[in-house]
Chain A
Amino acid sequence: QSVLTQPPSASGTPGQGVTISCSGSSSNIGSNYVYWYQQLPGTAPKLLIYRSNQRPSGVPDRFSGSKSGTSASLAISGLRSEDETDYYCAAWDDSLSSWLFGGGTKLTVL
């Protein structure tokens, strides 16, 4: 069981927006940046959001991140069929001296 809690699934229709949550605690999300990754089937994860709300070059502005207290969110607007895949949040935990990943959210584009 992951210390960072994500919903196992999320869905939306093409063109719509969807938000994926990531809940943690004061020792991880509450005191550190959150990172988001997209993992297509059979491939390595790709960094989508860093420092809670920053996009690496090349990541479309349809993807955005936010953080409030001990929770974070990944928002995807203008859903496309190619967005249908797995998404993970991650944060450093000061108490555990460990990186934590959320359990992952499988996004379905209906």
Chain B
Amino acid sequence: EVQLVESGGNLVQPGGSLRLSCAASGFTFSSFEMNWVRQAPGKGLEWISYISGSGSTIYYADSVKGRFTISRDNAKNSLYLQMNSLRAEDTAVYYCAAHSSGLKFAYWGQGTLVTVSS
């Protein structure tokens, strides 16, 4: 069974940093493209970053480009999101989501809450 478990969400002050993790199990992690998607309270879904299975191809949404860094460790079956220069508008539940071939965002974690506030 495919399982994705996010962790690392917390309350952080504006300008601060946070690192999110997503632990994967139940599938060959290195074969799956991965994403981070966030959802602000009461709002819709916002894609923020993508990484290919090998890690060689990475994309970011303009809203986080230059501040967030996606990475993966296939040996540890883990996906990461390093978030710097956090702003109040980054407050959201952050989901990791996996593509499975033609099935995009086929698998999702339960999400981890990041709150940016002083």
Q: Which residues of A contact B (CB under 8 A)?
A: 2, 33, 35, 37, 39, 43-47, 50-51, 54, 56, 88, 90, 92, 96-104
Chain A positions within 8 Å of B27 at CB level: none
A98→B105 contact, CB < 8 A:
no
A90→B44 contact, CB < 8 A:
no
A101→B95 contact, CB < 8 A:
no
A100→B47 contact, CB < 8 A:
yes
Total number of residue pairs linking A and B with CB closer than 8 Å: 60
Bound together, the chains give a CA A100 to CA B104 distance in angstroms of 12
Bound together, the chains give a CA A27 to CA B87 distance in angstroms of 30
A44→B104 contact, CB < 8 A:
no
A101→B45 contact, CB < 8 A:
yes
Tally of chain B residues near chain A (CB < 8 A): 21
- Chief secondary structure at chain A's binding surface: strand
A97→B59 contact, CB < 8 A:
yes
From A50, A92, A99, name the one whose CB has the most chain B CB atoms within 10 angstroms. A99
Closest residue of chain B to A103 (Cβ to Cβ) is B44
Chain B positions within 8 Å of A43 at CB level: 110
Q: Kindly list 11 other residue pairs between chains A and B, CB separation below 8 angstroms, not including A44-B95, A50-B102, A54-B102.
A: A37-B105, A43-B110, A44-B110, A45-B45, A50-B103, A51-B102, A90-B105, A97-B59, A99-B47, A101-B37, A101-B45
Chain B positions within 8 Å of A37 at CB level: 45, 105
A44→B59 contact, CB < 8 A:
no
**Contact check: which of B44, B59, B95 meets A88 at CB < 8 Å?**
B44
Bound together, the chains give a CA A81 to CA B26 distance in angstroms of 33
The reply on B46 being an interface residue by CB < 8 A is yes
Nearest CB of B to A39, in Å: 8
Chain A positions within 8 Å of B35 at CB level: 99
Q: Which of B39-70 contact A (CB under 8 A)?
A: 44-47, 50, 59, 61-62
B59→A98 contact, CB < 8 A:
yes
Bound together, the chains give a CA A87 to CA B105 distance in angstroms of 14
Q: Which of B89-118 contact A (CB under 8 A)?
A: 95, 97, 102-106, 108-111
